[in-house]
Structure 1
């Protein structure tokens, strides 16, 4: 058992269930998932994270990796203070406080959000599980076996038809295409990590199968660009019905978030999105 402590302003449940990552499963208070080719079980007890790993040969390295993965060194209070400007955000922060935007593996984040298009979270998780079982490597811990997210090379060693058989539909060709681009180094992911938000987003959107929303999700949930604003039906509904009180274009929604919430618009949308989707605003958003 590995302990990570002390941690503050962190809520493991909200962080792993807010729609930014799809490979974590909760069972009796413990979250199971694969990170950095290790199968983990993680539980939070107050200001301590308890971690069991399929590979505990270097506990300090794993502690450092998870500290970065959950972005635990960041001053979340400052971010929340800057975006908590009204009753809607105050309600969101009140319930979801401690939810942090993670630093996910770039390839897994990219592949996962390609599958997220016109989809819901249960189906996204199912698709990811199927391609991982088909192409990835098995890892076991305490009698439970899961599979690594397949690398670009693992995917390109297969076929589009194999991906289609995993239930991906039209997304199969998109994922195979992007895997090919990455495997052949036409897109250098290490280079992408060093680029500005606008350059990274433009580069991602140049790939077939990646649009505005997917590029923004990857920019926010893996590349660390707080100014990225993924706009889905929930964010659109929240903006139009709670704030602008009218229909709005993507540009108008983006301009509103920038002018109203400031530099942490990614955090602002994630708190509003998660709260609206799971807890509140239902009466206001359903009419």
Structure 2
């Protein structure tokens, strides 16, 4: 394991609580953060970066980086989107006329959307089909250890799409990816032959980006919306999974609506920051079923 720099403060306009820090890092946006009991901190990996985060007793966010790391404070700030005005985004959500949203917002003060590497977000959410968060984390870790570059002793990056293309479907199945291995292999082959495609998709407006993303093998509407929300910073994306279906049926009386209709409802009802609202109602429903 790496040697770590002394803990420093990362100023946040909108501070975390312990619950919202945990929910942001380990609530289904990203899958490479783990709580280190002995250090009382979160350790996470994204791209070629590694960091540790914890809250001080007075609520300040502290961070530590590996001493030999090429990663910087700025990369961490970008990942956490510290320059984005989350309070202003909340103010534009319809909480004044939506009591359930208002309740969800109050339950998770400081919750935010991470800006992950888009290529990684696509890969991780391709692993998410019919799986829960702990299982997705295991699949991501196995891919990193077997196929990804070592960043620090004992710490590996997720494989690039080129590295995945060099593996066989059997190799991927051996990592426990199951039926997802076929789609990941097909997508890897496609992206290895068109290395600019994901950059083009990320740069496109939301609707065009989604239309192009769902053309990749195994990428349905939910996976596309998750990748666009958490990896491409398209906050209007509104992923619909079983939790969101439950919320919209129980709290909004939208029984019988199919996922595309529910996704459209979310974008219309919550507006430009629909995906941000989605995180609050998703998090609240999981803790208050």
Q: Is the structural similarity TM-score above 0.5?
A: yes
Report the equivalent of 1:136: 148
Tell me the residue number matched to 1:6: 11
Deviations 1:26-75 (A, max 9, x none): 11331112223133222233233322225345xxx611111111111111
Inter-partner Cα distance in structure 2 for 1:251 and 1:113: 18
Give me the whole-angstrom Cα distance separating, in 1, the residues matched to 2:195 and 2:102. 44
For structure 1, which segment, 44-53 or 93-102, has the greater mean C-alpha deviation from structure 2 after superposition? 44-53
Q: Which runs of 5+ in 2 are unaligned?
A: 1-5
Residues 227, 263 of structure 1: 8 Å contact kept: yes
Give the corresponding residue for 1:285: none
**1: CA distance between counterparts of 2:72 and 2:195?**
31
* 1:115 equivalent in alignment to 2:127: yes
TM-score (norm 2): 0.88
Q: Which residue of 2 aligns with 1:38?
A: 49
Match of 1:88 in 2: 100
Summarize the Cα distance change of 1:209–1:54 in structure 2 as closer, same or farther, 3 Å threshold. Answer: farther
C-alpha distance after superposition, 1:142-183 (max 9, x if no partner): xxx222101112112221101001111110011111111111
Q: What SS class does the counterpart of residue 29 from structure 2 fall into? A: coil
User: Which structure has greater helix proportion?
Assistant: 1
Post-superposition CA distance 1:232-276 (Å, at most 9, x none) = 111011001111253212243234323322221101111110121
Structure 1 match to 2:28:
19
CA distance in 1, matches of 2:285, 2:224: 23
Counterpart position of 1:48: 61
| SS of residue paired to 2:54 | strand
**For the residues of structure 2 that align with 1:69 and 1:154, how far apart are their CA atoms?**
23
Alpha-carbon spacing, 1:93–1:180, altered in 2? closer, same or farther (3 Å): same
What stretches of structure 1 of length at least 5 have no aligned partner?
283-287
What TM-score, normalized by structure 1, do the two folds share?
0.89
